[in-house]
Structure 1
Amino acid sequence: MEQNDLPYGVLVDFYEKIEATTSRLAMTDYLVALFKKTPTNVLDKVIYLTQGQLRPDYEGVELGVAEKLTLRAISKASGVSLKSVEELYKKTGDPGLVAEELLSKPRQSAGLLGYIGEETGKRELMVSHVYNSLMKIALASGEGSQDTKINTLASLLSDASPKEAKYIVRTVTGKLRLGIADMTILDALAVAFTGTKSARDVLERAYTRRPDLGFIARTLAEKGLEAVRSIRIEVGVPILPMLAERLGDPGEILEKLGGSCLAEFKYDGERVQAHRKGDKVWLFSRRLENITSHYPDVVNFMLTLKADEFIVEGEIVAYNPDTGDMLPFQELMHRRRKYDVKKAMEEYPVRVYLFDIVYLNGEELIEKPLPERRKILESITPPRDENILLSQAKLVDNVKDLMLFFEEAISEGCEGVMCKSTGNQSIYQMGARGWLWIKFKRDYRMEMTDTVDLVVVGAFHGRGKRAGTYGALLMAAYDPNSDTFKTVCKVGSGFTDEDLANLPKLLEPYKIPHRHPRVVSKLEADVWFVPAVVLEIIGAEITLSPLHTCALGKIEPDSGLAVRFPRFTGRYRFDKKPEQATTESELIEMYKSQRKTVVQA
């Protein structure tokens, strides 16, 4: 092994072990062994590749290569006709397996490199070479970029063993399918470089400020834990957003928040984290994607704030320019396009409602209580500006006022209200879901009238009219305490014919041959997926169920919680990571609120 690099074959060997395990502990152990074996100067590259990416999400370096281009590169590297490559792909459905099979045979003609036979003795493929080649593919643009991508990938595949080729192709097509959670990587880093998981808290704190696992790993390996502890918020690098719990009983909400709260309209838009440094503005989504190019008007709005350097949070909301009425989230999603952005701006104008500030002119504000942060935010927001406004909010200390404000929010086209703690402890908890913020979206009286966001973890083959697609999806809630996904329901209703036709293609990149280690299920699905796709689900009510694992044993022995008569609302939550889905504790609270109402009735 070269001292400053890692053979890509070593990385692939670990991928095979991780892909084969159903144990999260084993997955972590494999990662610990991998990180210990990896030279420091390529540790960040190894971590990015293991995540199926080249840089952190917020940098927007997209690796995804179209399947047609990938198949052409496989054809060029293997010397097999494109038609034969395409036919094999139709049989397997996995371009990685296509590359592995075709490159395991003696090459007839490699196109790029001439004849390659078994006797040529190829050089050992190193991680740095793979990474740099993939970065060249990702950054290729403009005239001739397709040829650059094909030739670079074909050259890389020609140097690769069949097994290495399989994982290279899966990486470039976004189908690596390892599904390793960020928190699992932090656990493994803690053990690999400090000998104990107890250092995980320091790493996680740094990760909330700079969600870049490659950067944190290199810092830890090169400079030690104290250097990681000193990582600070930086303008232009998104922080992990604070999250909220959910309750449907206004009395219980006020009790949780100490008797009073700041009630805030919960707008039906896209949450945005806006950064500004001088004339430069960055916009990041809840998933930390860079969405600056989608909203040039919002960039201009941010330049009107009375500060040169800040990080603020708000909600981008589409509105009807003729009536001023707010439009639903689905209308706003028309702005998420690469082309005709100017036309989309005209058709779907937006406003921004600011609700928090976490950084101002070199100072972190996350430890300041909410009322103080709100005053600072107000001081930099221009008055009487119709494009950028403070969120509508009101201090309340009784159920009647909270309900009146809730009804006002609903009548204005909002989803409900956010109820936020105003005490000395009301800090900004980056990346945390706690009882400082509570969503009050709907009252759960008599039936489940609010939606939940659940993660697709499995599927069941369709029959009859649904033959050839999926008849139902196995849906799960997220449990942050165990970092797992626990099943809640099988959903087969609410899908249009178009949805049903597209589901196999949508879910194909996440298909794996066994239950994922982070999925807890009593049911045996026909098909399993890496937890990745979030769907909005509505149902009749939340009930006890011996079949599902969400809240198993937490309310009744041997029973979990299930959504009864679940139905897909038609809303794909591509704006949410799976870890931002509805949590197990939220469903427990919804169930308790339901039961309490039934007893009172």
Structure 2
Amino acid sequence: MDFGSFAARAADVEAEPADLEVVALVTDLFADAGEDLRVVARFVQGRVFPAHSETKLDIGPRLCYEALARAAGTNVTASDVEDRLAEAGDIGEVAANLELGGQAGLGAFGADSGGDDLTVSAVFAELEALAAAEGNGSQDEKVTLLFGLFNRCSSEEARYLARLVLGEMRIGVGEGTVRDAIADAFDVPVDTVKRALQVSNDYGLVAETARDEGEAGLDEMHLEVGRPVQAMLAQAGTVTDALDEWERAAVETKFDGARVQVHWDGEDVSLYSRNMEDVTAALPEIVEFVEEHVEPPVILDGEAVAVSAAGEPLPFQEILKRFRRKHDVAAMREEIRVELNAFDCLHAGGDDLLEAPFVERYERLEAVVDDESAVSELLVTDDPEEIATFEERALESGHEGIMLKDPDAAYTPGDRGKHWLKRKPDVETLDLVVTGAEWGEGRRASFLGTFLLSARDEDDDSFETIGKVATGITDEELADLTDLLEPQIRSEDGQEVDIEPAVVFEVGYEEIQTSPTYESGYALRFPRFVTVREDKPPADADTIERVERLAAQQG
């Protein structure tokens, strides 16, 4: 396919505002791409290489400006290009309006005019060569190669080449458009295309396979150990959301680390970041752990967490120091230790597991990792109190919180759907008065263990109940709270205690719900003790009016 034809089709797509028409135009482009289909399917998204590939152009804006300036002649400088970009806001527009072509010199292909039958395959070959340039003088070589391409471009070709080089195609074609266009162009089910894309992470390969081998060929595509796939992502949510939607939830610790995808074929271990960058060399201790404790072939999903000498988790910034390290890795390893916390298994023993339920994938994870300390703890329950206790332990251990997962959901690479939820941090707290309590049981029988909370009614300075809190409190804190509140006990009835409104708790919560159970008409979902507000008397506690306002703001 002529690159000029590709550029003209891209211009048509860019000018089309309707999504369905965009799909139709891309469908036609794919049908006409011929032997260049694999490259065209990437170019149309602004990609030169497959998403999983470690090959990068590694050419920044400044080098692109230099190449354009050289192709435009001696009266144009890289600074001129940059100034025009500041006005136009689009490097493609700048490139299209430069007088390119006809410049002699090294890398000019011997061409003496723009638009001389430049093909998609020729552009790709030159960009491959550009990506391969490394070492001393590599930047000059990159500029020369790119100058040679621009020197052969028509105005429209230059527009899309400049955008392609900088990864800014800007024609409104995303992954969904390409997926649908592949299905339409080659008459294969869109779900089959979607699955093939998930396991291969290569739109060009999938397009070519759909054309040449149809649905049967796509069905034969599988995960490959050593070829990373996009990570499944989570969205913010609540325990209420999870249990309402799934009836039970798989609960895990939310680690304050960096996502890592582990590939181990029995000979080589490869580690990839969330963005599918190879970080193997930066994390040698995880490589060593996998080689010793994990049964190949496998693909695992997990989190790399920086830990102190005592094994306590360190902040996210510490793991970033390891991920970004290219030199002196051994010295940095001594300074910041990293551990693997695996929480999913995508492939094991030759079996792709993406479509298996999460709980089944977790079982395979436990089977292939012989050190349970590297496998994230899992709780499957329909009990909010069990989830509260799990979260409390996670927070006390220094972790971010919890993840809530649909036990029956498949692993969907790249999706940020409703099957994985990040438990929201407490974005608001309330200062509430303790007006009652209950004595604990077992080893906590001598402590007040559950506390009845009330908000202040401004109209008559009374207190109306809004809920109870029993989580987020250590044994030591319970002893202190009992000492604090016992002098305020007005009466007792069995385990229940009536308390004079004298102590204010700061309480976090997941959400505020309407409820007939409590006098205020509201209830706190998933309340958690934060601290005693020793600086605040009951008269300054939060009011029912504020509770109503916060409830309304939740939408």
The two structures have a TM-score, normalised by structure 2, of 0.71
Contact 1:263/1:393, CA 8 A, preserved across alignment: yes
Q: After superposition, what is the alpha-carbon deviation per residue over 1:7-55, rounded to whole angstroms, capped at 9, x for unaligned?
A: 001111122223333332232122112112211x210111112222222
Q: Which amino acid aligns with 2:352?
A: E
- Out of 219, 239, 246, the position equivalent to 1:257 is 246
Matches of 1:405 and 1:143, distance apart in 2:
55
* 3-state DSSP of counterpart to 1:353: strand
- Out of 135, 154, 164, the position equivalent to 1:142 is 135
Q: Which amino acid aligns with 2:96?
A: E
Q: Does residue 32 of structure 2 align to residue 37 of structure 1?
A: yes
How far the C-alpha of 1:81 sits from its partner, in A, is: 4.6
Matches of 1:73 and 1:427, distance apart in 2:
47
Q: Does residue 399 of structure 2 align to residue 414 of structure 1?
A: yes
Q: Which amino acid aligns with 1:21?
A: E
Aligned twin of 1:571: none
Q: After superposition, what is the alpha-carbon deviation per residue over 1:120-148, rounded to whole angstroms, capped at 9, x for unaligned?
A: 68631110000110111011112332232
Matches of 2:109 and 2:299, distance apart in 1:
54
- Aligned residue runs from structure 1 range 514-533, under 5 A: none
How far the C-alpha of 1:337 sits from its partner, in A, is: 2.3
Q: Which amino acid aligns with 1:232?
A: H
Aligned twin of 1:399: 384
Q: Which amino acid aligns with 2:83?
A: K
* 3-state DSSP of counterpart to 1:241: coil
Any gaps of 5 or more consecutive residues in structure 1? 1-5, 448-540, 543-592
Any gaps of 5 or more consecutive residues in structure 2? 431-509, 512-546
Contact 1:320/1:326, CA 8 A, preserved across alignment: yes
How far the C-alpha of 1:265 sits from its partner, in A, is: 0.6
- Out of 42, 46, 49, the position equivalent to 1:52 is 46
How far the C-alpha of 1:350 sits from its partner, in A, is: 1.3
The two structures have a TM-score, normalised by structure 1, of 0.66
Aligned twin of 1:130: 123
Aligned twin of 2:267: 279
Q: Does residue 194 of structure 2 align to residue 210 of structure 1?
A: no
Aligned twin of 2:183: 190
Aligned twin of 1:66: 60
How far the C-alpha of 1:427 sits from its partner, in A, is: 4.3
- Out of 337, 342, 355, the position equivalent to 1:354 is 342
Instruction: Report the CA distance shift for 1:48/1:301 in structure 2 as closer, same or farther (over 3 A).
Output: same
Q: Which amino acid aligns with 1:440?
A: R
- Out of 2, 9, 30, the position equivalent to 2:4 is 9
Report % sequence identity. 31
What is the aligned-residue RMSD (CA, Å)? 3.3
How far the C-alpha of 1:446 sits from its partner, in A, is: 6.2
Matches of 2:332 and 2:97, distance apart in 1:
45
Q: Does residue 324 of structure 2 align to residue 334 of structure 1?
A: no
Contact 1:209/1:240, CA 8 A, preserved across alignment: no
Contact 1:310/1:359, CA 8 A, preserved across alignment: yes
Matches of 1:112 and 1:383, distance apart in 2:
56
Matches of 2:549 and 2:357, distance apart in 1:
34
Q: Which amino acid aligns with 1:24?
A: D
Instruction: Report the CA distance shift for 1:147/1:233 in structure 2 as closer, same or farther (over 3 A).
Output: same
Matches of 2:348 and 2:110, distance apart in 1:
61
Instruction: Report the CA distance shift for 1:7/1:368 in structure 2 as closer, same or farther (over 3 A).
Output: closer
Instruction: Report the CA distance shift for 1:158/1:368 in structure 2 as closer, same or farther (over 3 A).
Output: closer
Q: Which amino acid aligns with 1:181?
A: G
How far the C-alpha of 1:311 sits from its partner, in A, is: 0.9
Matches of 1:428 and 1:114, distance apart in 2:
48
How far the C-alpha of 1:434 sits from its partner, in A, is: 5.0
- Out of 146, 160, 166, the position equivalent to 2:159 is 166
How far the C-alpha of 1:407 sits from its partner, in A, is: 1.4
Instruction: Report the CA distance shift for 1:432/1:87 in structure 2 as closer, same or farther (over 3 A).
Output: closer
Aligned twin of 1:438: 421
How far the C-alpha of 1:295 sits from its partner, in A, is: 2.6
Matches of 1:414 and 1:294, distance apart in 2:
23
Contact 1:58/1:284, CA 8 A, preserved across alignment: no
Instruction: Report the CA distance shift for 1:346/1:59 in structure 2 as closer, same or farther (over 3 A).
Output: farther
Q: After superposition, what is the alpha-carbon deviation per residue over 1:209-250, rounded to whole angstroms, capped at 9, x for unaligned?
A: 1111000000011111221122122212233433445432x3
Matches of 1:23 and 1:80, distance apart in 2:
42
Contact 1:445/1:594, CA 8 A, preserved across alignment: no
Q: After superposition, what is the alpha-carbon deviation per residue over 1:133-172, rounded to whole angstroms, capped at 9, x for unaligned?
A: 0111011112332232122112212222132123222222
* 3-state DSSP of counterpart to 1:324: coil
Matches of 1:212 and 1:362, distance apart in 2:
20
- Aligned residue runs from structure 1 range 172-571, under 5 A: 172-194=165-187, 199-248=189-238, 250-258=239-247, 260-321=248-309, 323-337=310-324, 339-340=326-327, 342=329, 343-383=331-371, 389-422=374-407, 425-433=408-416, 436-443=419-426
Answer with 224-233 or 91-100: which moved more.
Answer: 91-100
Q: Which amino acid aligns with 2:228?
A: P
How far the C-alpha of 1:444 sits from its partner, in A, is: 6.0
Contact 2:13/2:172, CA 8 A, preserved across alignment: no
Matches of 2:126 and 2:394, distance apart in 1:
52
Aligned twin of 1:512: none
Return the index of the structure with the highest Cα Rg.
2
Q: After superposition, what is the alpha-carbon deviation per residue over 1:460-513, rounded to whole angstroms, capped at 9, x for unaligned?
A: xxxxxxxxxxxxxxxxxxxxxxxxxxxxxxxxxxxxxxxxxxxxxxxxxxxxxx
- Out of 97, 114, 118, the position equivalent to 1:101 is 97
Q: Which amino acid aligns with 2:152?
A: D
* 3-state DSSP of counterpart to 1:303: helix
Contact 2:295/2:369, CA 8 A, preserved across alignment: no
Matches of 2:30 and 2:428, distance apart in 1:
51
Answer with 181-190 or 20-29: which moved more.
Answer: 20-29
Contact 2:261/2:301, CA 8 A, preserved across alignment: yes
* 3-state DSSP of counterpart to 1:418: strand
How far the C-alpha of 1:266 sits from its partner, in A, is: 0.9
Q: After superposition, what is the alpha-carbon deviation per residue over 1:408-464, rounded to whole angstroms, capped at 9, x for unaligned?
A: 112222221123344xx45444455555443323356669xxxxxxxxxxxxxxxxx
- Aligned residue runs from structure 1 range 569-588, under 5 A: none
Q: After superposition, what is the alpha-carbon deviation per residue over 1:525-550, rounded to whole angstroms, capped at 9, x for unaligned?
A: xxxxxxxxxxxxxxxx99xxxxxxxx
Q: Which amino acid aligns with 2:67?
A: A
Contact 2:259/2:304, CA 8 A, preserved across alignment: yes
Contact 2:282/2:326, CA 8 A, preserved across alignment: no
Matches of 1:404 and 1:210, distance apart in 2:
40
* 3-state DSSP of counterpart to 1:174: coil
- Out of 3, 8, 20, the position equivalent to 2:15 is 20
Instruction: Report the CA distance shift for 1:130/1:435 in structure 2 as closer, same or farther (over 3 A).
Output: closer
Q: After superposition, what is the alpha-carbon deviation per residue over 1:302-328, rounded to whole angstroms, capped at 9, x for unaligned?
A: 21223121111111112233x432122
Matches of 1:384 and 1:393, distance apart in 2:
11
Q: Which amino acid aligns with 1:254?
A: L
Matches of 1:391 and 1:381, distance apart in 2:
11
Instruction: Report the CA distance shift for 1:254/1:101 in structure 2 as closer, same or farther (over 3 A).
Output: closer
Aligned twin of 2:443: none
Contact 1:76/1:111, CA 8 A, preserved across alignment: no
* 3-state DSSP of counterpart to 1:59: coil
Instruction: Report the CA distance shift for 1:596/1:255 in structure 2 as closer, same or farther (over 3 A).
Output: farther
Contact 2:114/2:154, CA 8 A, preserved across alignment: no
